[in-house]
Amino acid sequence: MDHLQSMRVFVRVADLGSFARAASAMDISNAVATRHVADLEGRLGTRLLNRTTRSLSLTESGQVYLERARQILDELEDVEQMVVARNHEPLGSLRIVAPVVFGLHNLAPVLQTYAQRYPKVVPDVTLVDRQVDLVEEGFDVGIVIARQVKSASVVTRRLTTGCMTVCATPAYLEKHGTPTRPEHLLEHPCLSLPSEYWGDERVFTGPEGEVRVRPQNVIIANNTEMLRQFALLGMGIAILPSYLIGNDTTRGQLVRLLGDYQLPQVEINVAYPSRRHLPAKVRTFIDHLVEHFSQTPNHQVSEQWIRDGRGRPAPATHAHYEHADEDAAPAPRSRPIDGELAPKLSKPSRTRGRMPVASPF
């Protein structure tokens, strides 16, 4: 029989001094109550109750067992109530993992408004640019790039999309010329992410349709903030997230290029290990993330999406772009586009929750 239930029956019988009253209070039959206590005595190898036709009394062993059993059952009830409360009231540590640059530029306003709404939750944020196993490393929530999600052991919800922008400094463009077509990138030194993130090709969509090019990389880095610093130093042309260079383009430090062409947007999701029995702290944070990013223009993270301290979008500012002199010598004619296909992106492991929740985006 159920050991804990037998313990509960024994405590109730001892408290009420009667099998019949205990059985009635617990909505079981008198015979079942008797069997529970008999099973408990058989397990312990000692008598807990002295029984007569008129009364019940505790044996010495029964008195000792009653005190400890009552303590155990009270502690068990406290634990169960605590767990139930945690699933209904958001509280405790919330472990979040996100890409370094995305986290630095986008998570603070989200966490500020979430902390104001749920003060009993303590966000514990880890920013990394490596593969992370949500389950093994004990993370509750991860920010992921949708195209990199291959594991069936995690659940994802869409947060937003990010735009990638080709850019360079005005000084660089004045010296080396301004590319007006994707093919012209072949004549310029480019600052790029490693091929395992996006491949070696850059795929543009423009007036003539799809254009694929393999830029000539002079520097490769796995962090877009570092690539931004290289771009600001005039070391070449970079392809960076729009939100990362918004202030730079507004101040004229970087110039947006190839305005007639678009790169594929990057879909950003929130991931968590399971949708079953989701703790309140995880459920509310996911909902808060989705709500926060749903307010972005066209659900995109862009250079104009800069929130104020209350989590609301700040007034949009119009970026000022410095253009190269139209009378300057035209850019050198580009070489033919390399027609080879880029190598396939490395696939993340499908085991458990391992996935590239962190990326340089």
CB-CB contact of 224 with 240 (8 Å): yes
Nearest in space to 226 (alpha carbons), one of 182, 194, 200, 267: 194
Q: Which of 32-41, 78-87, 252-261 has the lowest average pLDDT? A: 78-87
Residue 140's pLDDT is what?
A: 92
pLDDT of residue 265: 87
Angle, nearest 10°, between helix axes 60-88 and 280-294?
Answer: 0
pTM exceeds 0.85, yes or no: no
Here the tokens at position 25 are 């209070």
CA distance 93 to 120: 9
Q: Let me know: does 142 contact 270? Beta carbons within 8 Å.
A: yes
Asked whether the predicted pLDDT for residue 238 surpasses 90, the reply is yes
pLDDT in tens, 43-89: 999 999 998 877 889 999 999 999 999 899 988 887 876 777 666 78
Residues 240, 250: Cα–Cα separation, whole Å: 15
Structure tokens at 213: 């090019």
Q: Say how many Å lie between the first and final Cα of the chain, rounded.
A: 57
Sorted by sequence, the CB contacts under 8 Å of residue 119 that are 6+ apart come out as: none
Q: Residue 196: pLDDT band by 50, 70, 90 thresholds? A: confident
Residues 6+ apart with CB under 8 A from 29: 23
Residue 285 in this model has a pLDDT that exceeds 80: yes
pLDDT of 74 reads 85
How many CB atoms are closer than 10 A to CB 9? 25
Highest mean predicted confidence (pLDDT) among 74-78, 109-113, 143-147, 313-317: 109-113
CB 127 within 8 A of CB 96: no
In the block, which residue shows the tokens 């190598």? 343
pLDDT (mean) for 174-193? 95
Query: How would residue 328 be classed by pLDDT, with cut points 50, 70 and 90?
Result: very low
Three-state DSSP state, 238: strand
Q: Which residue has the tokens 């395992």?
A: 196
pLDDT at 250 over 70: yes
pLDDT, average across residues 307-320: 33
Alpha-helical (H) ranges within 192-299 are: 195-198, 224-232, 246-250, 280-294
Burial of 42 (0-12, 13-18, 19+ CB in 10 A): exposed
What is the 3-state secondary structure of 57-80? EECHHHHHHHHHHHHHHHHHHHHH
pLDDT class of 27 with cuts at 50, 70, 90: very high
Please report, as a single letter, which amino acid is at residue 22: A
pLDDT at 75: 87
Query: Phi, psi (5° rounding) for residue 337?
Result: -70, 135
Q: Which domains does the chain have, with CATH numbers?
A: 1-86 (1.10.10.10), 92-313 (3.40.190.290)
| Interatomic CA distance for residues 204 and 216, integer angstroms | 16
Residue 301 predicted with pLDDT over 90: no
Six token digits for residue 79: 């634990």
CA atoms within 13 A on the CB side of 164: 22
Residue 322 scores a pLDDT above 50: no
- How far is the C-alpha of 309 from the C-alpha of 274, rounded, in Å? 32
Look at residues 26, 59, 18, 53 and name the one whose alpha carbon lies nearest to residue 41.
59
